[in-house]
């Protein structure tokens, strides 16, 4: 392990045989909303750089989420995200939320991917966890040191919590609150991320095929590898149609990857279900729960006992 020029620690992922299918959690704001924490509508109002009436907000909300951010900030998304950076660094899980996150980690995941900018997962597992805006962190790791800084933060950078069963890499796939310029919101930034993902995926698929052909091990370098070649359990991430990066990866996985995808969602519009099914996503819905905390507990119980046939 060594430091790179950006003062992060260089630490490679554990390789795995190509017959092995990593178990991966993809999560988002759903777990936090079960405890009545902040939602997307509130975030979008907080990053706004202008004054909008309630009538104007109702009209703006007709747009897809990434485009709401563009209008709310007058197309100055980076400046808007700067406003909320400190707040999202300071967010901590409530006691019940902390227990739920710890139970989730005990499901035996090889990697945790989150679309959240905040650090509730890290703080639930390591109460001493701390980061500061634009400061190096002893928890931050990178799997390479020869890539442009923007590409590294988008694809190759993760959080590592040393000690015990919590040594599972945590990837903030849409950026971190402590690094405001990495936070993905707005179609311009989604487009830039998608471009990086497309280039990386082609190279990753080629490496995986070579490892398969010659019976070697595959060395994951990015969260993209886990999505392409793992069993993915999507819990607390609504997979909104506007998240083009994730839907593109689902389609790419179906065409070129391996492993199953299970989307746990209390209910789902028919159109979104149809999209999921053609992209190879197995939808797990139920009647709308009255208690979302109990719902997520039951989901993680099911995920924990999952075994491949």
What is the mean pLDDT of the segment spanning 93-117? Answer: 92
| Structure confidence at residue 95 as a pLDDT band (50, 70, 90) | confident
Structure confidence at residue 18 (pLDDT): 96
CA angle 91, 104, 286 (to 5 degrees): 100
Angle CA(260)–CA(290)–CA(267) in degrees, nearest 5?
A: 35
Q: What is the pLDDT of residues 171-228, one digit of tens each?
A: 999 999 999 999 998 888 899 999 999 999 999 999 999 999 998 899 999 999 999 9
Q: Region 226-233: what's the mean pLDDT?
A: 98
Model pLDDT, residue 171: 97
The mean of the pLDDT values for the chain is: 88
Residues sharing a CB contact under 8 Å with residue 230, sequence separation 6 or more, in sequence order: 21, 22, 23, 24, 110, 111, 259
pLDDT at 286 over 50: yes
What average pLDDT score do residues 98-114 get?
93
Q: What's the rounded mean pLDDT across residues 69-77?
A: 87
Instruction: Please give the C-alpha separations between residue 128 and each of 122, 125, 152, 165, 171, in angstroms, as whole numbers.
Output: 9, 9, 26, 16, 19
Q: What is the mean pLDDT of residues 242-263?
A: 95
Provide the pLDDT for residue 142: 93
Q: What percent of the chain lies above the pLDDT cut of 90?
A: 53
Task: pLDDT band for 22, please (50, 70, 90 cuts).
Answer: very high
| Distance (Å, whole) CA 298 – CA 300 | 6
| 101 or 6, greater pLDDT | 101
């Amino acid at each position: 392990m060594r430091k790179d020029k950006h003062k992060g620690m260089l630490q490679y992922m554990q390789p795995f045989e190509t017959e092995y299918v990593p178990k991966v959690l993809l999560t988002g704001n759903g777990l936090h909303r079960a405890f009545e924490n902040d939602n997307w509508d509130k975030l979008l109002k907080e990053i706004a750089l202008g004054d909008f009436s309630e009538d104007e907000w109702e009209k703006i909300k007709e747009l897809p989420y990434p485009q709401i951010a563009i209008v709310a900030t007058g197309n100055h998304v980076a400046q808007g995200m700067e406003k909320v950076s400190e707040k999202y660094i300071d967010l901590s899980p409530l006691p019940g939320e902390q227990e739920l996150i710890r139970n989730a980690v005990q499901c035996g995941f090889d990697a945790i991917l989150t679309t959240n900018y905040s650090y509730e997962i890290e703080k639930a597992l390591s109460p001493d966890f701390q980061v500061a805006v634009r400061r190096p962190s002893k928890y931050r790791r990178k799997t390479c040191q020869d890539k442009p800084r923007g590409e590294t933060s988008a694809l190759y950078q993760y959080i590592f919590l040393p000690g015990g069963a919590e040594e599972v890499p945590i990837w903030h796939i849409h950026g971190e609150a402590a690094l405001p310029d990495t936070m993905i919101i707005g179609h311009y930034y989604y487009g830039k991320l998608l471009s990086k993902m497309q280039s990386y995926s082609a190279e990753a698929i080629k490496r995986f095929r070579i490892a398969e052909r010659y019976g070697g091990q595959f060395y994951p370098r990015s969260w993209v590898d886990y999505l392409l070649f793992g069993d993915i359990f999507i819990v607390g991430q609504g997979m909104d149609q506007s998240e083009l990066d994730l839907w593109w990866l689902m389609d790419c996985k179906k065409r070129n990857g391996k492993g199953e995808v299970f989307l746990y969602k209390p209910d789902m519009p028919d159109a979104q279900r149809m999209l999921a099914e053609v992209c190879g996503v197995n939808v797990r819905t139920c009647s709308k729960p009255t208690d979302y905390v109990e719902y997520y507990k039951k989901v993680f119980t099911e995920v924990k006992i999952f075994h491949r046939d």
